[in-house]
Structure 1
């Protein structure tokens, strides 16, 4: 993302976070004269202990110097989570790694990771890189989601597939909620790798082709590892319940392992076994 785009992303993020905070919750009166939801800029400045003018410049995306200590105060005033703080610091200080990853250089998964995929036989598991390209999956994932082997590697991007494949749109009972979880992780990567212009090109493409994407992108949070309960309505197996656990794979490549564990005391694992044995 170039310098100006980074500042615009910072501006949008600060505005969105400010709008989430109820004035009453931090000691300000709501009143009837507020034109927008959430806090006013001068109220955020007061909570953070900075001048209203300086905070206004920061939220407007002006090119100003920002210290970590001041960002800490703003993050506290906006009640940011750990992941949201990292995102704020990356955008405000251009502190992303800036590492380059070419599309044709998708990372290879190690033999040990392949073994883990195989052993998680009845837990659909997908491994993605930091651009959300799918670089590994197990048989269970092919039965529950898609047969990824039939999709060319350059099109095997999970974010894009969520908006282009009807099978995935029909799978999740609450598709918007399901998709927002992926976008929350994608936004965390977006902040971490602020110098990688691929992200901006990808976002521009998705916004132009898929109007729903822009709406959900604006609503998405920042979260690096959500753990959620997901309900699927599989075309063959019917109702399936999974706990999603997202793990970061340590090593030279920035990989994520997303494991969908069948909910205990549900029929999900039995149904999954039936799907696999039917092949």
Structure 2
């Protein structure tokens, strides 16, 4: 992303995070004249030990000098998680990972990872790259979600499919939770690869094509490994409960393994066994 887009993303993130913090959680009185949710700018500045003017400029997306120590103070004031802190630092200091070319990632799935996909027989599992393109899946994922073989490789972007394909909207009872998990991962990549213009082009495309995308994107958190419990209403198997575990695949490729584990003390695994047979 270019400098202006980076600063706009930083501005939006700071505003959203400030709005999510209740004054009482940081020892401040709620007051009776708060016209917006969360903290005021001057309160964040006070908690971080910086001037209100400086913090206002930062939140407005002005191109100002920032230091690691001050960003650490802001991270504490806004109660950021480690993933959110890394996102703040990447945008404010432009310290994202260099952008390697994306080749045919399906060729980079190692035999051992292919075996893991096969062995997770009763756990729908998807392998995706740093742009959330699906590059691998197992039979359980095909049975529960949709047949990815029937989708052209260039169309297998998980974010796009979640919004574009009605199968996903019908499947997930808590569809927004389903989406939020992947958007949290996507936002973490967005901060990590600040030099990749593809992300801004993709976001612009999604905002134009899907009216509900903008709201969910602005509300999304930043997490490299979100934990989400999902309730599906499968056309053949009925009610199914899964817990999402997202794992980073170690190695030269920036791949991710998303495993949907049948929730314990539910009938999901039995239903999945019947669906597979």
- Separation in 2, partners of 1:222, 1:79: 13
Aligned residue in 1 for 2:9: 9
Secondary structure of 1:223's aligned partner: coil
Structure-2 separation of matches of 1:276 and 1:31: 57
**4+ residue segments displaced more than 6 Å:** none
Deviations 1:16-45 (A, max 9, x none): 111111122223222222221111111111
Partner of 1:166: 166
Mapping of 1:1-279 within 5 angstroms?
Answer: 1-102=1-102, 105-107=104-106, 108-277=108-277
Q: Relative to structure 2, which stretch is displaced further, 172-181 or 31-40?
A: 31-40
Q: What is the DSSP-based 3-state SS (H/G/I as helix, E as strand, rest coil) of the residue aligned with 1:251? A: coil
Secondary structure of the residue aligned to 2:63 is coil
The alignment yields a C-alpha RMSD, in angstroms, of 1.1
Q: Give the C-alpha shift of residue 52 in structure 1.
A: 0.9
Counterpart Cα distance in 2 of 1:101 and 1:276? 37
CA distance in 1, matches of 2:265, 2:221: 31
Deviations 1:154-179 (A, max 9, x none): 00000000001111111111101111
Q: Where in structure 1 are there 5+ consecutive unaligned residues?
A: none
- Taking the aligned partners of 2:246 and 2:197, their CA distance within structure 1 comes to 25
Deviations 1:53-97 (A, max 9, x none): 111111111111111111000000001111100100000000101
Q: How far off is 1:204 after superposition?
A: 0.2
What TM-score does the superposition give when structure 2 sets the normalisation length? 0.97
Task: For structure 2, list consecutive stretches of 5 or more residues without a partner in the other structure.
Answer: none
Give the C-alpha shift of residue 230 in structure 1. 1.5
Q: Write the distance in 2 (CA, Å) between the matches of 1:13 and 1:202.
A: 18
| Matched-pair contact (CA < 8 Å) for 2:128–2:136 | yes
TM-score (structure 1 length as normaliser): 0.96
Q: Number of residue pairs matched?
A: 276
Q: Alpha-carbon deviations, 1:231-262, whole Å to 9, x = none?
A: 11101100111121110000111000011111
Given that 1:100 and 1:196 are in contact with CA atoms closer than 8 Å, whether structure 2 keeps it comes out as: no
